[in-house]
Structure 1
């Protein structure tokens, strides 16, 4: 019991010291974020998003990519999507919802030792294709799946 109290007191003391240092201007917090393609995420069409992210139009289809999403999404605010690929040397996996106001939903950069798989939940404003774009070995590949949305998502 005393051990938990000691850990709590140490954590509180450390947090207070950092807060005082920030308040005194000794430590200045900065955003430590990777550069992100703002124009791609603000694009209003699939081609604009692809151009902003990869500098090219939509990639050719590939049977080595599988998009797992429901055929009918009962709630467009939470649509589960899993993208898997057997392509070697996967560098990134990107998800695009074709008819969203801003189609580029997510882009994941993977390390060379990561498996070619991501799983997430996306928002969809209306029924449309969900497009997965995989960059592997310096080349782009894509796959798509149509998802029908029955009730509101990001559009209503």
Structure 2
């Protein structure tokens, strides 16, 4: 494809502007979860709900104060919509644990007193599994679970 002189000059000017921005420190940096304050790597390496509870240092108790919203059948395991809500006063964290995923804890949301403990996200599921909605309240873990069936590959492809 033949380019006009004007197009070549525009491309060159754009590249020069990017070079100046990069050397001036104006280019965005990559944000990594591992760099976040309070990141707990062993928590996201846990292989089961029991391991997550042990690392959180809390006793798991099934409770109606925690609810989970999600489909009965997920058409695509790569994007499963899940919501977690806690009605328990003093909730400091919400979590989503997928029993049969390679790493069980798929999401953790830290709460403050000003937060409403109600979150929604999309998760990746390897296969049909129980999904736990977890709320950390003091030294207890309140949870409820729901089986979500996956019909198309998620974590494994």
Give the TM-score normalised by the residue count of structure 2.
0.76
2:61 maps to which residue?
60
1:90, distance to aligned residue in structure 2 (A)? 1.5
Matches within 5 A, 1:28-47: 33-47=36-50
Matches within 5 A, 1:73-152: 73-152=74-153
1:139, distance to aligned residue in structure 2 (A)? 2.7
1:8 maps to which residue?
none
1:21 to 1:110, Cα distance in 2 relative to 1, 3 A? same
**2:58–2:139 contact (8 Å) kept in structure 1:** no
**2:58–2:140 contact (8 Å) kept in structure 1:** no
1:136 to 1:16, Cα distance in 2 relative to 1, 3 A? farther
Q: Distance in 2 between matches of 1:87 and 1:45?
A: 24
Q: Distance in 2 between matches of 1:105 and 1:67?
A: 14
How many corresponding residue pairs?
A: 135
1:44, distance to aligned residue in structure 2 (A)? 2.1
Q: Distance in 2 between matches of 1:127 and 1:37?
A: 27
1:144, distance to aligned residue in structure 2 (A)? 0.6
Which blocks of at least 5 consecutive residues in structure 1 are unaligned?
1-12, 23-28
1:93, distance to aligned residue in structure 2 (A)? 0.1
Q: CA RMSD in A?
A: 2.5
**1:40–1:50 contact (8 Å) kept in structure 2:** no
Give the TM-score normalised by the residue count of structure 1.
0.76
1:95, distance to aligned residue in structure 2 (A)? 0.5
Bigger Cα displacement from structure 2, 30-39 vs 120-129: 30-39
Which 4+ stretches in 1 moved above 4 angstroms? 29-32
Which blocks of at least 5 consecutive residues in structure 2 are unaligned?
1-16
1:138, distance to aligned residue in structure 2 (A)? 4.2
